[in-house]
Amino acid sequence: MDLTVGIDFGTSNSAVGLNVNGQPWLVEVEAGSKTLPTAVFFDARGKMHLGSAANKALIAGDEGRYMRALKSVLGTPLLREERLIGPKRQSLLDVIAKFLSELRTRTEDQIRQPISGVVSGRPVRFHSSNDAANDQALIDLTEAYTRAGFKHIDFLPEPEAAALAAQDLAAGEIGMVVDIGGGTSDFTVFRKDAGKADILASYGVRLGGTHLDRALSLDHVMPLFGAGTEVRRALAEGLLPVPATLFNDLATWQTIPFLYTKDTLRLVKDLQRHAVEPDKIDRLFEVIEAELGHDVAFAVEAGKIAANMGGQGVIELGLVEKGLTAALDQDAMDLSLARYKADLSEAVRETLTMAGIAPDAIGAVVYVGGTSLMSIVPNAVKTVLPNARAIQSEAFTAVVDGLAIAAGQKQYA
């Protein structure tokens, strides 16, 4: 008999789960781990490497194309644009379908049974205020699963899956899931009763860990590469700002690979000739020519994590220039991310309003997703729900646990 699995296809990490006797059982999707980075690397021969293998290939400096945050392009025109990836032209939709197909194959190899169905997690909203893009994103993800070989495809909002798996609430208690992933923030108010989750309201915004990384990169790293500097006009007097688009793309996980073109190199060379601060544009040229954009992004992410621990974070940029660093302490990070804290607080309030629930009715907040461990998240929630207790025990697996439980409840003809 063909099985149905639950798949948490995340912006940063992915996982697969099955329902075994009413309990979630997670697949070892790569050696020794039940989650894997949602990252791919196509080597020069076109072979695709997934997860940690993709990250290792990038770190080793192997020739090829690295991609991350693939989920963020769902619902956008970028998803279906064909580009040279490896030795052939393909779209990011093709890449996502191959990634999902590999998840299915790895699962089938472990359980030695064919898989025909999937209950996939999805954000409450892929795009905050664009209904057309939000609808298109679901169409895109459905197509990717179809291409990956799944015959029966269902979706469950990720925070609702986490609510289904929540264990530490008393019968009848009202809780809120705060699910902050790599690309979206989702909120669900639910009542726990007899092992089930009665969903009272769900709400979502397009805000996640990659947005925080981008803000920190733009504020603290991109100025070292020339952001905010000027160039001399070629045929007239006066100065012009260096194009901001270069730095916006370099600070955004999903657009980094598309900077590695001859056109971009020609543009940066021209900027070098006219730069008021040429040493900074020289660094930008090094990043583009040596394809170090993802290395810079990983350095920003590492600095963010260090600063979040309350110490002096340092963004190490020695791969670009020996000894180059950008300081990042908690106060500086909080200043850069202040607008996102306000957005999160407002999203909590909106979810309560949709549910018709007063703040003091929430007994517990279930924090889900790696970005929920960032201090700005509980700080934002506490401004609205100061008395609710925090549950963080299953931050990385709550969604896939709930999807696995839901998958066991599906029956197909």
Q: Counting beta carbons within 10 angstroms of the beta carbon of residue 188, is it exposed (0 to 12), middle (13 to 18) or buried (19 or more)?
A: buried
* pLDDT in the model for residue 87: 81
Compute the chain's Rg from CA coordinates: 22
What are phi and psi for residue 23, nearest 5 degrees? Answer: -120, 145
What is the average pLDDT across 321-326?
A: 96
SS3 per residue for the chain: CCEEEEEEECCCEEEEEEEECCEEEECCCECCECCEECEEEEECCCCEEEHHHHHHHHHHCCCEEEEECHHHHCCCHHHHCCEEECCEEECHHHHHHHHHHHHHHHHHHHHCCCEEEEEEEECCCCCCCCHHHHHHHHHHHHHHHHHCCCCEEEEEEHHHHHHHHCCCCCCCCEEEEEEECCCCEEEEEEEEECCEEEEEEEEEECCCHHHHHHHHHHHHCHHHHCCCCEEECCCCCCEEECCHHHHHHHCCHHHHHHHCCHHHHHHHHHHHHHECCHHHHHHHHHHHHCCCHHHHHHHHHHHHHHHHCCCEEEEECCCCCCCCEEEEEHHHHHHHCHHHHHHHHHHHHHHHHHHCCCHHHCCEEEEECHHHHCCHHHHHHHCCCCCCEEECCCCCCHHHHHHHHHHHCCCCC
Q: What is the pLDDT of residues 53-81, one digit of tens each?
A: 999 999 888 999 999 999 999 999 999 99
Q: Sorting pLDDT into bands at 50, 70 and 90, what band is 35?
A: very high
**Residue 322: pLDDT over 60:** yes
Instruction: Give CA separation, 142 vs 88, 138, 148, 341, in Å.
Output: 24, 6, 10, 32
* Cβ atoms < 10 Å from Cβ of 227: 22
- How far from chain centre, in Å, is Cα 336? 19
Residue 413 pLDDT: 45
Residue 28 tokens read as 């070892």
CA distance 207 to 202: 15
Q: Report the pLDDT averaged over residues 131-144.
A: 97
Task: Please state, rounded to an integer, the average pLDDT across all residues of the chain.
Answer: 94
* Beta carbons of 274 and 232 less than 8 angstroms apart: yes
Residue 34 pLDDT more than 70? yes
Confirm if 364 and 388 have CB atoms less than 8 A apart. Answer: yes
User: Which pLDDT score, from 0 to 100, does residue 259 have?
Assistant: 95
Categorize the per-residue pLDDT at 114 as very low, low, confident or very high, splitting at 50, 70 and 90: very high
Residue 396: predicted pLDDT: 86
C-alpha–C-alpha distance, residues 182 and 84, integer Å: 26
pLDDT of residue 24: 95
Average of per-residue pLDDT across 357-383: 95
CA of residue 285 relative to chain centroid, distance: 27
Helix axes of 158-165 and 398-408: crossing angle, nearest 10 degrees: 80
Residue 239 and residue 230: Cα distance in Å, rounded?
6
Instruction: Place 1 in a pLDDT band, splitting at 50, 70 and 90.
Output: low
Using DSSP bridges, classify how beta strands 152-157 and 174-180 pair: parallel, antiparallel or unpaired. unpaired
Does pLDDT of 411 surpass 70? no
pLDDT over 60 at 377, yes or no: yes
Return the ∠ at Cα 219 (arms to 127 and 325), rounded to 5°. 125
How do residues 243-270 score in pLDDT, each as one tens digit?
A: 999 999 999 999 999 999 999 999 999 9
Helix axes 338-355, 209-220, angle to 10 degrees: 160
Contacts with 237 (C-beta within 8 Å, 6 or more apart), sequence order: none
CATH 3.40.50.10240 fits 3-168+396-408, yes or no: no
272-290 per-position pLDDT tens digit: 999 999 999 999 999 999 9
Which residues of the chain form CATH 3.30.420.40? 3-168+396-408
Q: How many residues does the chain have?
A: 413
Q: What is the mean predicted confidence (pLDDT) over 140-159?
A: 97
164-220 residue pLDDT tens: 999 889 889 999 999 999 999 999 999 988 778 999 999 999 999 999 999 999 999
Q: Is the dihedral of CA 251, 253, 258, 262 positive or negative?
A: positive
Looking at residue 286, its pLDDT comes to 97
- Nearest Cα to Cα of residue 230 among 212, 244, 216: 244
Please identify which residue in the block is written with the tokens 């952001």. 227
What value does the mean pLDDT take over residues 120-127?
96
